[in-house]
Structure 1
Amino acid sequence: MTYQVTVIGGGPSGLMAAIAAAEQGARTLLIDKGKKLGTKLTISGGGRCNVTNRLPEEEVIKHIPGNGKFLFSPFSVFNNYDIIDFFENLGVALKEEDHGRMFPVSNKAKDVVQALLKRMDELNIEVRKETPVEAIHYGEGKDQHQIILRSQEKLYTQSIVLAVGGKAVPHTGSTGDGYAWAKKAGHTITKLFPTEVPLLSKEAVIKEKTLQGLSLRDVDVSVLNQKEKRIVTHRMDMLFTHFGLSGPAILRCSQYAVKEFMKGHCPVTIEIDALPDEKEGSLFQRFQQDTKDQPKKAFRNVTKGIVPERFLDYILEQAGISNEEKAANISNQQLRKFTHLIKKFQVKVHDSQPIEKAFVTGGGVSIKEIVPNTMQSKLMHGLYFCGEILDIHGYTGGYNITSAMVTGRVAGMHAAWESLG
């Protein structure tokens, strides 16, 4: 059987690519090895599906630290606002939440997936699920490409869109299959690494589970380099776990820690500022004043409520202050240490969870080898890439899905135009 466009992979980028190709009038096939399409969409945003982000284009790209600038070109063809219009035209009403995140009004990811599948039906896109691809043989010049399925059936196609994802969240089907097919076409795969991933620590505070399960809200979390200089800071919530650190702020910072590990720097210091709106000096003076005003009270009761209780107890212990110690008896040295720990609490991390436990894959097909406004390979005719197989990665919050849908849309359109031309 011969197709004009064949999309391999039924995630966000693949579904968009197939729809875009068929809308241009190309005979389109979508192949996926899984039982269901859109699995990553179904689990995104905690099952509510964070379809995109409504922030201005420049802001969205800022939230894609892994080669986000590459997306300025595809965004000129199809951007985050176009994604919103696209879904609303399919009958999926969207609503905006904090930080510009867009969700279906129904709060059901399956409504988003259903709308895409319905559109594919209307366009007569042939879909083959549970169909693993064994190999791809690229045709010379204007020759067609050959896709060999595991069943040994051979398919012929003029254009191929590789939308197979990276290596993160493998239960959705992203198991890194596409890298070998990209390499076969001559592409460079940059080093793969986990991003948006929890971090592991061997520190006593973690091993002894002292703070396990404790969340800190709206704290500044920084990654420090070997010279104790801040590489990045994110203000969000974070969580102490039985293995190390997790939660939104840690996930955002994780890629910077991972990049330090990749340079051979280990351990890496994570610094937590529990009261980011106060300067250390003025906080120290405030505590001094409080101890003068309430000398007979236990110091613990004087400072109660400034940070969660378990965190407070741990910091008091580290500063050498007992729970019963009266405020009047606290030395300036103890007070300085206590203040310093609230502002610069450090945890050394030695590794991250593996890429399979990450939300997003860092690294992938080098963007230097892709034409940005068409998503076409610079090395092979009729070959297009989109989504997480590319060396593009963003923070969570609708940014990776935006990148996937935009690159998918652009790849599908241009794959169709090439095959129809």
Structure 2
Amino acid sequence: MNVDVLIVGGGTSGMMAAISAAENGAVVGLVEKNKTLGRKLLVTGNGRCNVTNNRDKEEIIAHIPGNGRFLYSAFAQYDNYDIMNFFRSNGVKLKEEDHGRMFPTTDRSRTILETLQRRMEELNIMVYTDAAVDTLLIHDQVIQGVRLKDGRELTAASVIVSVGGKAMPRTGSTGDGYQWAKKAGHTIKELYPTEVPITSQESFIQNRVLQGLSLRDIALKVYNKKGKTVITHQMDMIFTHFGISGPAVLRCSMFVLQTMKRDKTNAVTMGIDALPDQSQHELQQQIQQLIKTEGEKAVKNALKGLIPERYLLFGLERLSIDESLPLKQLNEQQIKDIISFLKDFRFQVHGSLPIEKAFVTGGGINTKEVDPKTMESRLTKGLFFSGEVLDYNGYTGGYNITGAFITGRIAGMHAAYYAQTATQK
């Protein structure tokens, strides 16, 4: 096979890169080591595929805390609204859910995958599945193509590496792209798991006291060794047998790991504000009012409307307050302690599940060595990168997939331009 543009990796970013290159006049081939395309795409958004987010550019980039600034130039050429227009113009109806998340109205990831595949067929893109790449072929710092593991060599004027990171390896993301990038002279920023559940050795976690308990719309904080707040996320969370998980936890995870590294410690303090929309003063007034109206009731019955009863009983036990004590018999210090527990229950966490259990890979190909306007390597002509193999990472909620689509679109467009000029010489 000899093509203008060859894409390595048939995931979200790779498929969009292939479509983009073909729409810009290139003869395009795509190789994928799995037997089918889009394996990770099918499991995104719990199998519903959160295709992008309906927020403005600044807010989207703010939700890509790992080096999101790198995407500014790409966003100027193609953005989340263009992603929506792409799918709508290809017959996909979209709907908006909470936090700006956009889904196909079918609630099926397969709708998105089939749309991308249909568009690739319309553009006559050559697709080779079950075709694992062994290495990039580079001569005098110019890309020549790739060699497959079966020994075949595929030549191309430009190559786009879109093979993902190391998260979710069952979908085929096993970190192959980092070795190829190194061969092309690139440095790899240290890999770490992001959007990953957090582990804790606290006795209440180890003893599974709260296992399975969900807390809704809480504010979860990460503190550094000086006691300053590193980040706060207000979403849901759940206690597990190994630690904590859920949307708020996933968003805090990269900050936990970065704080551990920065503070050179093996434990980081986190805090839960179970009632983030109420100030301490408002909560105190509410409890005083309850003392007046329901003072005869046991503490556990009078306060169980504030938070889940299981979490309340856990707090009362930690504070050594008898749950059956009449509310009106609480002394001033006990009321303060209850408010403190409700507003800032602090505990230690000790790391995360491994990168293989993460949704997203942090770190990757150093973006200083990649042109942000084109996604082309600054070190090897005609070599482009897109998606999670690059050192940027966002939150779940349509932000990572937005980055994947946009970097794929930009890489495809500029790889086509490069191939055209290279063949004219």
Shared topology, TM-score over 0.5?
yes
TM range (shorter): over 0.9
Which deviations, in whole Å up to 9, do the C-alpha atoms of 1:197-230 show, x marking residues without a partner?
Answer: 0000010111111111000001000000001110
| Displacement of 1:88 | 0.9
Secondary structure in 2 matching 1:364: strand
Q: Is the 8 A contact 1:260 1:266 kept in 2?
A: no
Secondary structure in 2 matching 1:192: strand
- The aligned residue for residue 259 of structure 1 is 258
Q: Name the aligned partner's letter for residue 415 of structure 1.
A: A
Separation in 1, partners of 2:294, 2:109? 54
Check if 1:347 corresponds to 2:335: no
Which deviations, in whole Å up to 9, do the C-alpha atoms of 1:83-112 show, x marking residues without a partner?
Answer: 011111111111111111111111111011
| Displacement of 1:327 | 2.1
Q: Is the 8 A contact 2:53 2:102 kept in 1?
A: yes
Q: Is the 8 A contact 2:143 2:381 kept in 1?
A: no
Which deviations, in whole Å up to 9, do the C-alpha atoms of 1:123-142 show, x marking residues without a partner?
Answer: 1111111111111121226x
Question: 367-376 vs 262-271, which deviates more?
Answer: 262-271
- The aligned residue for residue 23 of structure 2 is 23
Separation in 1, partners of 2:294, 2:188? 63
- The aligned residue for residue 108 of structure 2 is 108
- The aligned residue for residue 324 of structure 1 is 324
Which deviations, in whole Å up to 9, do the C-alpha atoms of 1:328-369 show, x marking residues without a partner?
Answer: 332222221111111111121001000111111111111111
| Displacement of 1:293 | 4.1
Q: Name the aligned partner's letter for residue 304 of structure 2.
A: K
Q: Name the aligned partner's letter for residue 300 of structure 2.
A: R
- The aligned residue for residue 207 of structure 1 is 206
Which deviations, in whole Å up to 9, do the C-alpha atoms of 1:139-177 show, x marking residues without a partner?
Answer: 226x65131111111111110100000011111111000
Q: Name the aligned partner's letter for residue 231 of structure 1.
A: V
Question: 148-157 vs 382-391, which deviates more?
Answer: 148-157
Question: 24-33 vs 234-243, which deviates more?
Answer: 24-33
Q: Is the 8 A contact 2:5 2:26 kept in 1?
A: yes
Separation in 1, partners of 2:397, 2:265? 29
In structure 1, runs of 5+ residues without a counterpart are none
Separation in 2, partners of 1:305, 1:287? 11
Separation in 1, partners of 2:291, 2:300? 10
Secondary structure in 2 matching 1:368: helix
| Displacement of 1:289 | 4.1
- The aligned residue for residue 249 of structure 1 is 248
Separation in 2, partners of 1:144, 1:291? 75
Q: Is the 8 A contact 1:320 1:334 kept in 2?
A: no
Question: 281-290 vs 209-218, which deviates more?
Answer: 281-290
Q: Name the aligned partner's letter for residue 225 of structure 2.
A: Q
- The aligned residue for residue 68 of structure 1 is 68
| Displacement of 1:22 | 1.2
Secondary structure in 2 matching 1:191: strand
Q: What TM-score do you get using the length of structure 2 for normalisation? A: 0.96
- The aligned residue for residue 371 of structure 2 is 371
- The aligned residue for residue 86 of structure 2 is 86
Question: Are the structure 2 counterparts of residues 238 and 144 from structure 1 closer, same or farther at C-alpha, using a change threshold of 3 Å?
Answer: closer
Question: Are the structure 2 counterparts of residues 144 and 200 from structure 1 closer, same or farther at C-alpha, using a change threshold of 3 Å?
Answer: closer
- The aligned residue for residue 185 of structure 1 is 184
How many residue pairs get aligned? The number is 420
Q: Is the 8 A contact 2:33 2:133 kept in 1?
A: yes
Q: Percent identity?
A: 51
Separation in 2, partners of 1:403, 1:300? 47
Q: Name the aligned partner's letter for residue 233 of structure 2.
A: H
Secondary structure in 1 matching 2:215: strand
Instruction: Return structure 1 stretches of 4+ with deviation > 6 angstroms.
Output: none
Q: Name the aligned partner's letter for residue 200 of structure 1.
A: T
| Displacement of 1:73 | 0.4
Which deviations, in whole Å up to 9, do the C-alpha atoms of 1:300-325 show, x marking residues without a partner?
Answer: 22212100010011111112111221
Q: Name the aligned partner's letter for residue 217 of structure 2.
A: D
Secondary structure in 2 matching 1:35: coil
Separation in 2, partners of 1:300, 1:250? 27
Alignment of 1:276-355 (within 5 A): 276-355=276-355
Check if 1:233 corresponds to 2:232: yes
